[in-house]
Chain A
Amino acid sequence: MAIAATRAPVRQQSRARARRNALVGWSFILPNFIGFAVLTLIPMGAAFVIAFMEWDSYSPPEWVGVENFERLLGDQSFWIALGNTAYYAAGHIPLTMLAALGLALLLNKRIRGLGFFRTTMFFPYITSLVAVAVVWNMLFNPTMGPINQFLEWIGVQDPPGWTTTSAWSMPAVIITSVWRDMGYYMVLYLAGLQAIPQEYYEAAEVDGANAWQRFWNITIPSLRPTTFFVLIMVTIASFKVFDLIVVMTDGGPGRSTLVLSQLIYREGIRENRFGYSSAISLVLFLIVLVFTVVQFRIQKRKED
């Protein structure tokens, strides 16, 4: 009895404190959360619903079920955009990761001027994308551009037409994007490399492991979490590609560089077909989701 009598007020008091805590806690989050909920969460939810509607800005929305998705199946532009997005990702993801890892390995040494080199490699990433795209477009000029002049100089007989031809436009975009992004992911790899204890290498050296063995048996496995993280980030970024393509090629020539995000923009904002556009964005979302989940799964299996 005595115990219960003293306990009850304590419990009441702690409940009151918890409530006060929650109020104060929410008050910290609220200024951001209101904006976040209204402008991110609600639109995300709405995108799911709108994808099942026929909606333009002139007539009221009408529920049409999976009709938008059925139409997608027969839409040639959609399949081309899907293929091009995959093409871009297939080029951009591995090349960016390899370049970033290579740069990080080179710049994880004790040398003079390290800070300068790291800063330099990182600089393209923060440069305005429009400026980057405009400059590279000129570098890629098929007849007089510096790149093809260089190629001719080293003996390439018939250099590619780059952004003026449908066969070479996507490679041109990929080259530009790798040049731009590699320094950014290099920073992530550098952080990963510096977390590897130096003692591992010293021990391996004592055991007579050569440089290649040390790289293969220490560096690569130790970097696995970093590689996983970079992979997820590059993948998401790849599927979102828009600015670079709009400025460099605007999806052309023909539809050779048309990507999903651009199709979403065209259908939704230029043509006012909100429902159809949302259906495409749902597909894009699902693709990114599947890739992310699969990568998380594979990572987990390797950990176990």
Chain B
Amino acid sequence: MSVISTLPEVDRLADELTPPAAGRPVTAKRRGPRLNPAKRVILYVLLAALTLLIFVPFFWMVSSSLKHNNQVFSIPIQWVPTEFVWSNYVDIWTRIPLLTYLKNSLFLSVTITFLQVLTGSFAAYGFSKMRFKGRDVLFVIYIATIAVPWQAYMIPQYIMMQNAGLVNTHLSIILLQAFGAFGVFLMRQYYMSIPDELSEAARIDGLNEYRIWWRIILPLTKPALASLALLTFVSTWNDYMGPFIYFTSNDLWTVQIGLRSFVGQFDAEYAMIMTGSVISVIPIVIVFLLGQRFFIQGIATSGLKG
């Protein structure tokens, strides 16, 4: 084997960029010292206060979305509207092309997630289960780019897209976000934990590498695929800067830009703005509740998204 492929630096660097104790199912575990009753009460009071701190903005958002505009800001604050204005949730669809925004967001999120998961896990196999010259140098380059702020190369990307005639097309954002180093990195960290003997045995059985990836490794890494898919979906759905820079025409806009522009345009329509905010968050709530254990796993393993 070449000198490069035994380079200890690669795994050290990859390790340093992986949080210690990664991959443990953080939520599943219940460790830590037992508490005496007095301490337990204090802990619960603290936790209740913190939960309140987290929930109040959300509660206020939902509550305001159900108010008349002049009731959003009142002294003293009305936590529960005196009259529930459900019509906000009907009217908003005609005020802004919300359905178009939602469709665009969904299309981009699904496409980018699919490409990121597919190419990321495919490349991760090459980086973890195949040995060849140059592999480790290439992986170091992948890792290194994760630390470079996107703004540092945003302009050349923009110039390239402009020259390719892709500014103001959905394809620009798909291309920019589907081939990131993040997916490769996350999947490789998972693949490294699968014993090499497994691929070896399959090779002896006569399976080629592609089939080993498809039939053995992919099924084994379903939780990792789910983590990567959820993290990518959510970060694409929530992305503001990318679509903000690349999409000028309204019919390409995502929910995030649509909401932002609504805020600017109808400055004082507080209730309606809150209605839009609630609708923009609902898909994320659903995705999050469906897959929260994978989220936490994915973050504990990579810690790199965002």
Q: Compute how far the CA of A288 lies from the CA of B180 in the bound complex, rounded to whole angstroms.
A: 20
Cα distance A180–B32 in the bound complex, in angstroms: 26
Report the minimal beta-carbon distance from A61 to chain B, rounded to whole angstroms: 10
A129 touching B29, Cβ below 8 Å: no
> Do the beta carbons of B148 and A288 come within 8 Å of each other?
yes
User: By the criterion CB–CB under 8 Å, are A127 and B281 in contact?
Assistant: yes
- Cβ of A162 < 8 Å from any Cβ of B? no
The interface residues of chain A lying within 8 Å CB-to-CB of B60 are: 135, 138-139, 146
A282 CB within 8 Å of chain B: yes
A81 to B73, CA, bound (A): 33
The verdict on A58 contacting chain B, using a C-beta distance below 8 Å, is: no
CA distance A55 to B258 in the complex (A): 32
A221 at the interface (CB under 8 A from B): no
**What residues on B are CB-neighbors of A44 within 8 Å?**
145, 148, 152-153, 156
**Distance between B63 CB and nearest chain A CB, rounded to angstroms:** 10
Q: What is the CB-to-nearest-CB distance from B78 to chain A, in angstroms, rounded to a whole number?
A: 10
Instruction: Report if A130-B35 is in contact (Cβ < 8 Å); known contacts: A36-B179, A194-B26, A282-B152.
Output: no
Are B296 and A118 interface neighbours, CB within 8 A?
A: yes
Q: Would you give the shortest CB distance from B168 to chain A, in whole angstroms?
A: 13
Determine how close the nearest CB of chain A comes to the CB of B199; give it in whole angstroms.
Answer: 12
Pairwise interchain contact B281-A128, C-beta atoms closer than 8 A? yes
Residues 46-61 of chain B, each 1 if its beta carbon lies under 8 Å from chain A, else 0: 1100110111111011
Task: State whether A131 touches B281 (Cβ < 8 A).
Answer: yes
Contact of B54 with A123 in the complex, beta carbons under 8 Å? yes
Which of A40, A191, A243 contacts B26, CB < 8 Å?
Answer: A191
Cα A27 to Cα B120 with chains together (Å): 13
Query: A187 contacts which of B26, B29, B122, B256 (Cβ < 8 Å)?
Result: B26
A88 in the interface (beta carbon within 8 A): no
A-B contacts at CB below 8 angstroms, number: 319
Judged by a CB distance under 8 angstroms, whether A260 is at the interface is: yes
Chain B residue, CB-CB nearest to A236: B147
Looking at the assembled complex, report how far the CB atom of B293 sits from the nearest CB atom of chain A, in whole angstroms. 9
Binary contact track B138-180/A, C-beta < 8 Å → 1, others 0? 1001100101111111111111101000000000000110111
Binary flags per residue of A106-120, CB closer than 8 Å to B gives 1, else 0: 111111011101111
For residue A3, CB closer than 8 A to chain B, the reply is: no
Q: Mark B271-305, 1 if CB is under 8 A from A, else 0.
A: 00110011011001000100010011001100110
Is A94 part of the contact surface with B, judged by Cβ < 8 Å? no
State the Cβ distance, B64 to closest chain A Cβ, in Å. Answer: 7
Interface residue B255 (Cβ < 8 Å from any Cβ of A) = yes
A52 within 8 A of B: no
Instruction: Tell whether A29 is near chain B: CB-to-CB under 8 Å.
Output: yes
Q: How far is the CA of A18 from the CA of B131 in the complex (A)?
A: 8
Contact A120 B155 (CB under 8 A): no
Inter-chain contacts of B27 with A (CB < 8 A): 114-115, 118-119
Q: Taking the complex as formed, is A33 at the interface, i.e. its CB lies under 8 A from any CB of chain B?
A: yes
* A194 B160 Cβ-Cβ under 8 A: no
Q: Are B238 and A126 in contact (CB under 8 A)?
A: yes
Verify if B306 is at the interface (C-beta below 8 Å from A).
yes
Contact A131 B240 (CB under 8 A): no
B149 touches A288 (CB 8 A): yes
Q: With A134-B277, A149-B76, A281-B155 known to touch, is A110 a contact of B20 (CB < 8 Å)?
A: no
Q: Nearest chain B CB to A113's CB is how many angstroms away? A: 8
State which of A46, A108, A119, A128 has its C-beta within 8 Å of the C-beta of B153. A46
In the bound complex, how far is the Cα of B179 from the Cα of A40, in angstroms? Answer: 9
The answer to whether the Cβ of B132 comes within 8 Å of any Cβ in the partner chain is: yes
| B75 proximity list for chain A (CB < 8 A) | 144, 149
Q: Does B125 contact A (CB under 8 A)?
A: yes
Interface assignment of B127: CB less than 8 Å from any CB of chain A: yes
Stretch of A5-13, A71-79, A166-174, A225-233 at the chain-chain interface = A225-233
A139 to B60, CA, bound (A): 9
Chain B interfacial positions (CB closer than 8 Å to A) = 16-22, 24, 26-27, 29-35, 40, 43-44, 46-47, 50-51, 53-58, 60-61, 64, 72-77, 118-120, 122-123, 125-127, 130-135, 138, 141-142, 145, 147-160, 162, 175-176, 178-181, 183-184, 209, 213, 234, 237-238, 240-241, 244-245, 255-256, 259-260, 263, 270, 273-274, 277-278, 280-281, 284, 288, 292, 295-296, 299-300, 303-304, 306
Known contacts A109-B35, A115-B27, A190-B300, then 14 further A-B pairs from the complex at CB < 8 Å, ordered by chain A residue:
A25-B130, A50-B156, A106-B50, A120-B54, A127-B281, A127-B284, A128-B238, A129-B256, A237-B306, A242-B241, A265-B154, A274-B159, A281-B155, A288-B149
The 26 sampled A-B contact pairs (Cβ below 8 Å) are: A22-B133, A28-B126, A28-B213, A29-B138, A32-B179, A36-B181, A43-B156, A47-B156, A50-B156, A111-B35, A125-B306, A127-B58, A131-B278, A135-B60, A135-B274, A144-B74, A187-B296, A191-B26, A194-B26, A194-B31, A229-B19, A242-B151, A281-B152, A282-B152, A284-B149, A292-B147
